[in-house]
Structure 1
Amino acid sequence: MNISFLSVFLLALVFSFQLINPFVSCQQFKADGSVLELNESNFDSAISAFDFILVDFYAPWCGHCKRLSPELDAAAPVLAGLDQPIVIAKINADKFRRLASKYEIDGFPTLKLFMHGTPLEYTGPRKADLLVRFLKKFVAPDVSLLESDVAIRNFVETAGTHFPIYIGFGLNESIISEFAIKYKKKAWFSVAKGFSEEAMVTYDFDKVPALVSFHPSYNERSIFYGPFEDKFLEDFIKQKFLPLSMPINYETLRLLKDEERKIVLTIVEDETDEKSLKLIKLLKAAASANRDLVFGYVGFKQWEDFTDTFDVTKKTKLPKMIVWDRDEEYASVIGSESMDEEDQGSQITRFLEGYREGRTVQKRIRGPSLVGYINSLISIRTIYLIVFVIAVLMLIQTLQKPDEDDVPQRHTVAQVDDSSSSLTKKQSREYRPEDKED
């Protein structure tokens, strides 16, 4: 009887603690507009205490981290004042490496937005005002209901330029709500309940129901008139996440992280000159007819390190087209290794035909492993010489080592390991397109 009473008492105590624990966590952290400094002991509590928390994984020696810090300080009070607050926190990932490893932090600074405890890598702008506008997306309604032309304009202005925007005219919100929830992290969704003929002219549709898609950054617009069955509607939505032909840079590479399609990559001399701009228009036309591929372009002048991974040098004849799998392999089409300035539309067509017919040569991007890189530069004889030199240096260091009594101060093993590990980590990194800033 006593044992039974004790068991019930213990169960009640545990249940009470579970009820009180979230309250205690919330009391420990306050959304007062300041940036929270976290560590390993309170990190999990902070994540569970807030529905939305943006965490800056930083390193004290990182220059980019130091420049980001005041931007986060400026954004924190604005985000904390939203109807659905977003808290900003930071943690020294160079010191607390267990957490850095758990969340796959491979560069500094890395920002992750925890939504109800689930982490999402933040890939948006880092200036305070733009960061605030970008993050508002994640606490906005899944589908915004717009009652007038003014509401439509305000919605588009608030949405900003970093996400594609979908506006349904003459649609019931239930038709797109499933996809609005599914793709909330990728786009803005809305339904216009009230609109004028002027709005129809502005958004270039002539009948309803219609779903208008556009991406402000790329000045592209598409209209979908149906059928509004799930498969057709979802295909349209997914295809419009990316522009017809997109510039390849650090930001857009992040957008391609979850993309399943291969990339038709065109490498030009300078993506801003007149010849390249004409070619980009032709690429957009080709993209419209080849929706199973992503079309992108990059300038040798704009990003030489990236183009070098595809064996492009100053002597390479450009433009050059390849098909890249977004990983370590790409394909060149036999007979279409480069393009002439005349009739480039026909050359693009022949390239795509050659690719689909399998007239390709598979290649690997440049960027060997560290061991492969060393082996490619150093002969076996040189390796023996280096090993001998290291052995001699170690012997000299041992002979010169002072007695323990003469040593005024010692580092612990943990300190030495931590220091060398940090140094090795910074020195041994090699370039890859997806690398972080530091």
Structure 2
Amino acid sequence: MTVARPEAESFTGAVFTGADIPATAKRDRSGHAVAGDPDVLIRAADVADVQRAITFAAREGLSVVVRGAGTGLAGGAAAGAGTLVLDVSGLDRILELSAADELAVVEAGVPAATLDAAAARIGLRYAPDPASTAISTIGGNIATNAGGLRCVKYGVTGDSVLGLSVVLADGTLIHTGRRTAKGVAGLDLTSLFTGSEGTLGVIVSATVRLQPVPVRTVTVAAYFDDVETAAAATAEVLAARVRPAMLELLDADSLREAQDLLGHQGQEAGAFVVAQTDGFGADAEAAVVESCFARFTSRVSAEADPGAAENLLAVRRAALPALERHGRVLIEDIAVPRSRIAQATQRISAIARQYDSRIHTFGHAGDGNLHPIIVVPAHDPGAGERAQAAADEIFSTALELGGTITGEHGVGLLKRDWLARELGPDALRVQRVIRRAVDPGGLFNPGKVF
């Protein structure tokens, strides 16, 4: 198919075609690629660019794949032949910060960490805290309803989204939601677009809730003999009816690799858990967390010093990049009921043995969201096939335990078949009806999600 070259002068941002399109525009962090190369890349600089790009794509018969920082982990931003890649990372302005109403209005390309730093200057913070917070964008976080380290207490990204501005398939710009603390007028379109993974429209800006910076924060770290014991300890914390802001778990290999990447002289352990309590009751809650951990290990410590706490959290954030040094990784993302975390980790260990695969488990133990990371060494010709079989077994395990195939990374291309198994045919049909109603021409992200 021959595609007309868009007139570059009609766009404020940059336009690329053919061989000028960078290879990085073809895939996201999952590394998954589809056949062929994108026909056009438009790096939008404003909302008008987004609208022009969509109009051009519809006229030329191209599909639209939206990307921000490209940090997605499910192939949702993979783009091949017959596509226009719409890069919205250039929409990077913080339009408003309101201390009085505790909210911000931000464009889609603003990194989450940038918003958090700006909010801190007025005594507030942006609570969602993905491990990729320094590089992932607000638009991408909303598109996948990303989670993060502070999910236990503050919820996922969608819990902080009050309203959205979205460009639809016909180029119309709509505004959903509100600026008020409460509001139930009409259908909740904000929630519809949140987590839609670029299949319904292009999120160009968002009104998000900010939170007061906690008056005090205490970080509790503990080292355990094995990951199953660590998981049981996290369950004990939740059973004690405290709600730490953070409750993160790393298995032995993930801990060792993260410490090595950071150059830390850390402790050897079968598993590592870091918890954080905050607010006026931080010390009292931390004491309960310490007591729960102490029933399973003697290696427990508490820190109120921000620098020491950040060093502990850096270990958790470094886990994935540390493993990526050893080859391609399948980054899985399941969630199970919190009462079944220990059972899930036991099953994952058994699956690793069954398929002779190197699987590292870490994640948000506080809400049952685990990330079994399967390393696929380049020198092992059968590793890829075994890894995929192990991944399928992990998804099956999640569903058997009453869980889900994805807690925060989304479905994208990589989990389409498993979404059908989780939802069932009737619920899947309803979702497809909604998608066709909003995007009748199938313009956005075809072949993704459902």
Instruction: Indicate the TM-score class for this superposition, using the shorter chain for normalisation.
Output: under 0.3
Structure number with the bigger relative contact order (C-alpha 8 A, sep ≥ 6) is: 2
User: Comparing both structures, which one devotes a greater share of its residues to helix?
Assistant: 1
Based on CA coordinates, which of the two structures has the bigger radius of gyration? 1
TM-score (norm 2): 0.26
TM-score (norm 1): 0.27
